Structure formats: structure tokens, C-alpha cells
Amino acid sequence: MAVMLSPDAIRSRFSAAMSAMYREEVPLYGDLIAIVTRVNAATLAADPALAARLDADGETGRLGQERHGAVRVGTAHELATLARVFAVMGMEPVGYYDLAAAGIPVHSTAFRPITQAGLAACPFRVFTSLLRSELITDTALRAQAQQILAGRHIASEACLALVAKAEAEGGLVEADADAFVAQALDIFRWHGDAIVDAATYTRLLAAHGLIADIVSFHGPHINHLTPRTLDIDAAQDAMRAAGIAVKDVIEGPPARAVPILLRQTSFHALAETFRPVDAQGHGGHGAPKHTARFGEIEQRGAALTPKGRALYDQCLENAKTSGMAEAFSAFPDDFETMRAQGLIYARYVWTGVSSSDAPVSADDAVKRGLLQASPITYEDFLPVSAAGIFRSNLAGGPADTYKNSSSQAAFESALGRPVHDPFTLYQAIEDASQEQAMAECRPTLDPVTR
Ligand code: OOG
Ligand code: NI
């Protein structure tokens, strides 16, 4: 019987194929990968403790292939289709992000692997946003946008057939998996041919740059692909030195001894020529340009508990008046304090030392040197940072803020399923590691007393 390829393996192949495609479409992305690879090697060489920790946590292997992408869809049906496509690759929707409060007419989730093993195999994630067309205030334009979106098909028949086969048979054999990767990749390809005329494009752009980007083309072209750096300050300096038009500020928390959550920065979107349906000839002088696709780098730190996240949000709020460094001085910056105060999730491993009296708790075991705790990497996104990234890469349109409140329930009904709560997933990883490490460090007891 033919063997199925694992979802992890399909995701790895897809992630590599996406990276190769984006490198061709946006050559600057290749430069970014080169910079990040160089900075990561230098950081690991200069910090053997970090290198050892990443090794112990199984992160060294994934680092070189680690990246996230971002796409935007126009309708509930398109979102539900992507959910089915990503499910074939072991990617599930995690978290709900409301961008409307920041003036971006979308709400979002992140498709990613959710288990420790899946993340270690390939942590590829895709930030996926759904247009909230009800936020287009011009009702005639809204109706036109909805009509355009209703007529497009983002996935080919062949792609949908392979998705249905994977759903029915519980996976894909290798030849089907390769065909699926090629078909799925096509969904995210850039098409210089628009599906609207020049006047419609201009009206959509005036409503919001994001609306023009979502509605005017054949499908949800990948708009950036972000490698993970171990030192974003050094990588940003290197980007500047290479003459890349990088954003002024790094989004997220300031630089710290124990990095938390996510720090990100991007280079501005390229202006790419495209062809409206009523265009005469191809490209050339005076052809309209679309700005949507850009490059981004990120540094990932520790996942925070709800208590840690509340403190982070408070610090970010305070930073508006007091400045970053001062606001974040309220956030402890050594791992043991953060763990003791319950601000951070921890992964536990047995140190190899055992003791004749069993530890009463994980804390006790850590104090006695039986277990070692380390941070669990944050695998998700930050709404404030995402809004900053969106904003820095959009052309045209007013900087509205939308009063219309967001709704996770509406998003989930479009998606066709609930999103996972990220905190629950981190807690499960902590609990599993703790249970295993505690079992390992307990001395083998006499079977009678056991
Ligand atoms: C997504 C922006 C959000 C991030 O890294 O926070 C994002 C988009 O521009 O479509 O990718
Ligand atoms: Ni991003």
C-alpha cells in the first residue's frame, strides 16, 4: 500500500516552495535571507549559551527554514477554502486579531502547526486576514467589490480535488502531495494582470489601500515572507548598510536580556506595475503601479501567560507617555523571576541528576537542580505590531479608525470552525514537558512501594 506523506512533510515542502517563489518574485527577499543567515550564524558563534539552549529545545534545526507569510482574502468562502488547504499541511487557525480598531478593515488569524513536534518539524505560519467589506462606507463601491469577489475562484479545480482526497483518505501519498504543493502554491502567486479596470482600481484605492489589494487581483498573493533572526537590531543595521529602505522603528517590546513575544521590522513595499483589464499594451511608461508586497524580519522571544501578556499590554500603553525603556522597566528581565511570577511559560527538561527523595513539585525540582526550565518560543503575532506593519506598507486611502466593533464569532463563522486559543496551546506544551521531566527525574522506586 502506498505510504502517505505526513502533514509536517507536506508543510516543509510547501514552505520551501513558497520561499523559492517569493525569492523570484521579490529579489530583495533573497537579500534579506542572506542577511539573516549571516546575522544568525554570528549571533550563535558569539553566544554559546544561546546556541546550547536552542539546541536543547530542538530549535536549531528549524531556524534556517523558519518563516511566516501573510495573505489577505475577500470572502468567507475564500477563508474557509484556505482553512481546508492549510489543514492538509497540518496548519490550524490560532488566535483572533482585530485590526479594525487600528484603521485596517480586516480581521485575522494565524494558520500554524500546534503541537511541539509539528513546530519542531517546520514552524511555517501564515497570517491570514479577511476583508470586512461592511466597513466600506461607500455602498455602491461595497456592492461592486462584493460582486467582483463573488466571481473569482482562488483555488483551481485540481487543488480542490486533492484537498477533498486528503480529507476523505486522511492524507496524501507522495505524488499527490507534490501535485498539491504545486497547486496550492499557485493560489498565492502574484499576477500582474488585474481583474478590475483602472477607474475601479483608483476608487478602491481611495477607499483603502488594503481594499484595492484584496479586490483587484486574481487571488491572495503572498505579500511578505519573514525569516526569523536571533538579533533584530544587528539585522536591521545590516539591512540599512545594504541600502534597504527599512522602517524607522522596530515593532514590539524593546531589546531585553530575555526577549519576549515578537520584535519585527519591515522594508517598504515595492511599487510594481500591473495591467488593469482595460489597459492598452503591456507595462511600459505610465503603467499603473501597485504597492503591497514587502519584506520583513522578526525576532521571536518567550511566550507570555495571560498575566504576562496583561503586563506587556500595560507597559506598551505606558510607553505612549513615558517612552519604551522606562515603561518596560516594570517587566522583570531575568528568566527565573519571570517564571516565579507566572509571567512566562516554561519548558522543563531533566538535567540527568536524580535524588533519592522525590521532588514535591516542578519548582522544587528546579531549585534542587533536577530539572532545568527554559522559555517556550512565542509562535503567534501581535495586533499592534501587525497594524504597524500593515500601515507602513499601504498606499493611498484615509487613515480612518473603524468604530464598528469586531467579532470573533463572525470570523469563526466565516472560517467554518473556531480558532484555537494560543494560551491553551502553550500551557499544554508546558504541562507535557513538566510531566515527562518529573517522571524522568524521580528515582526508580521499589515496585512494592510504587
Ligand atoms: C499582515 C500584517 C501582519 C505581522 O507579521 O504582524 C503581519 C499583512 O500585511 O497582510 O504579517
Ligand atoms: Ni508579517
Q: Could you say which ligand is closest to the alpha carbon of residue 386?
A: 1
SS3 301: coil
Ligand 1 atom closest to residue 69's alpha carbon, by position in its atom list? 11
Give, for all 450 residues of the chain, the pLDDT tens digit: 679 999 999 999 999 999 999 999 998 899 999 999 999 999 999 999 999 988 887 788 788 888 999 999 999 999 999 999 999 999 999 999 999 888 889 999 999 999 999 999 999 999 999 999 999 989 999 999 999 999 999 999 999 999 999 999 999 999 999 999 999 999 999 989 999 999 999 999 999 999 999 999 999 999 999 999 999 999 999 999 998 888 888 999 999 999 999 999 988 888 899 999 998 766 566 788 998 888 899 999 999 999 999 999 999 999 999 989 999 999 999 999 999 999 999 999 999 988 888 888 999 999 999 999 999 999 999 988 888 887 777 765 455 567 666 789 999 999 999 999 999 999 999 999 999 999 998 865 544 544
Cα–Cα distances in angstroms (integers) from residue 365 to residues 51, 222, 359, 361, 437, in the given order: 24, 46, 5, 6, 10
Which pLDDT score, from 0 to 100, does residue 285 have?
63
Query: Which 3 state secondary structure label does DSSP give 175?
Result: helix
The span from the CA of 146 to the CA of 201, in Å, is 14
Residue owning the nearest CA to atom 7 of ligand 1:
386
Q: What is the per-residue DSSP string for 395-406? A: -SS------S--
- Most informative mutation of 71, 125, 127, 380 for ligand 1 (most atoms within 8 A of CB): 127
Does residue 188 belong to any structural domain of this protein? yes
pLDDT in tens, 292-347: 888 899 999 999 999 999 999 999 999 999 989 999 999 999 999 999 999 999 99
Q: Answer yes or no: are the C-beta atoms of 384 and 412 closer than 8 Å.
A: no
Report the atom number in ligand 1 closest to the C-alpha of 129. Answer: 10
CA torsion, ordered 153, 126, 428, 433, to nearest 10 deg: 130
CA of 383 to the centre of ligand 1 (A): 9
Instruction: Answer yes or no: is 327 within a domain.
Output: no
DSSP 349-361: EE-S---SSPPSS
How far is it, in rounded angstroms, from Cα 141 to Cα 136?
7
Q: Which grid coordinates belong to 104? A: 485596517
Which residue type occupies 28?
A: L
Q: What DSSP element (H or E) covers 201?
A: helix 198-207
Distance CA 56, CA 48 (A): 12
DSSP per-residue string spanning 64-131: TT-EEEEEEESSHHHHHHHHHHHHHTT-EEEEEEE-GGGT--EEEEEEE--SHHHHHH---EEEEEEE
Tell me, what DSSP letter sits at residue 388?
Answer: H
- Among 121, 109, 120, 88, which residue's Cα sits nearest to residue 7? 88
Candidates 197, 237, 182, 191; CA nearest to 217 is 191
Q: The C-alpha cell of 16 is what?
A: 520551501
In a domain, 310, yes or no: no
Evaluate whether 376 touches 349 at the Cβ level (below 8 Å).
no
Give the contacts of 424 (CB within 8 A, at least 6 positions apart).
none
Is the residue at 399 inside a domain?
Answer: yes
Ligand 1 pocket test target in 208, 221, 224 with most atoms within 8 Å of CB:
224
Whose C-alpha lies nearest to ligand 1, atom 6? Answer: 386
Residue 409 is part of a domain; what is its CATH number? Answer: 3.10.180.80
Map grid coordinates 487557525 to a residue. 93
Domain total in the chain: 1
pLDDT at residue 401, as a whole number: 64
Q: Which ligand is nearest to the CA of 72?
A: 1
The SS3 of residue 154 is coil
CA atoms within 13 A on the CB side of 40: 23
Quick one: residue 438, left, alpha or beta (phi over 0 = left, psi -120 to 50 = alpha)? alpha
What's the pLDDT score for residue 449?
Answer: 46
C-alpha cell at 11: 508543510
Distance (angstroms) between ligand 2 centre and the Cα of 297 equals 8
22: its cell numbers: 517569493
- Which of 390, 393, 394 has the most ligand 1 atoms within 8 A of CB, as the residue to mutate? 390
Cell of 419: 480558532
Distance CA 196, CA 45 (A): 51
Residue 121: CB partners within 8 Å, gap ≥ 6? 8, 9, 11, 12, 62, 113
Convert the pLDDT of each residue in 38-78 to its tens digit.
Answer: 999 999 999 999 999 888 877 887 888 889 999 999 999 99
CA of 361 to the centre of ligand 1 (A): 40
The residue nearest atom 5 of ligand 1, judged by CA position, is: 386
Cell of 311: 503586563
| Amino acid symbol at 267 | F
Q: Please name every residue paired with 228 in a beta bridge, in sequence order, or none if there are none.
A: 298
- Within a domain: 166: yes
Taking the CA of residue 264 as reference, the ligand 1 atom at the shortest distance is 5
Question: Is 123 a domain residue?
Answer: yes
Residue 150, all three cell numbers: 463573488
Ligand 1: which residues within 6 Å by Cβ? 70, 72, 127, 129, 223, 264, 296, 381, 385-386, 389-390
Residue 382, in any domain of the structure: yes
Residue 244 grid cell: 534597504
Q: What is the pLDDT, as a whole number, of residue 283?
A: 57
Q: Tell how far the Cα of 224 is from the centroid of ligand 2, in angstroms.
A: 7
For residue 239, report the distance from its CA to the centre of ligand 2, in Å.
Answer: 17
For 160, other C-beta atoms within 10 Å of its C-beta total 15
C-alpha cell, 240: 540599512
**Amino acid, single-letter form, for residue 328:** F
Residue 285, exposed/middle/buried by CB under 10 A (0-12, 13-18, 19+)? exposed
**Residue whose CA lies nearest to ligand 1 atom number 4:** 386
- Residue 337 domain-assigned? no
Residue type, 299: Q
Using alpha carbons only, what angle is made at residue 331 by residues 327 and 334, rounded to the nearest 5 degrees?
A: 140
Half-sphere exposure of 195 (CA within 13 A, CB side): 21
Which domain, by its residues, includes 233?
A: 4-301+377-419
Which pLDDT belongs to residue 158?
Answer: 98
Residue with the nearest Cα to atom 11 of ligand 1?
70
Q: Which atom of ligand 1 is nearest to the CA of 393?
A: 9
Q: Determine which residue's CA is closest to atom 9 belonging to ligand 1.
A: 390
